Amino acid sequence: DGYELFIQCDSDNSAFNQGVCLGYLGALVDLEAATAEPDFCVPADEPLSVLQRAYVAAFQSGGIPRGTSATAAALQILAAAFPCQ
């Protein structure tokens, strides 16, 4: 669930949780880059920590309702933060 991923992404004191967060977001970026018509375009040199901050900020602002799947939340957040030109 998206909120569970938010908890992991927002965890400052757990290397494991940070790894889960960054791994999940990184996998979505790689998968999206392989699609014919991507919904978002993250520059190749963009650190995953920037995506992590965008994900956390969206949940903290209330922009993503609890109960939203992690994939749906991440796709919405990344499309807003990294639109394709």
State which residues form the domain around 58. Answer: 2-81
Separation of alpha carbons 11 and 35, rounded Å: 31
Please report the pLDDT score of residue 22 as a whole number: 96
Coil, helix or strand at residue 23:
helix
Please report the pLDDT score of residue 65 as a whole number: 92
pTM, entire model = 0.91
Please report the pLDDT score of residue 12 as a whole number: 82
Please report the pLDDT score of residue 34 as a whole number: 93
Please report the pLDDT score of residue 79 as a whole number: 96
Tokens at 80, concatenated: 């807003």
Instruction: Give how many domains the chain has, as a whole number.
Output: 1
Ranges under pLDDT 50 in the chain: none
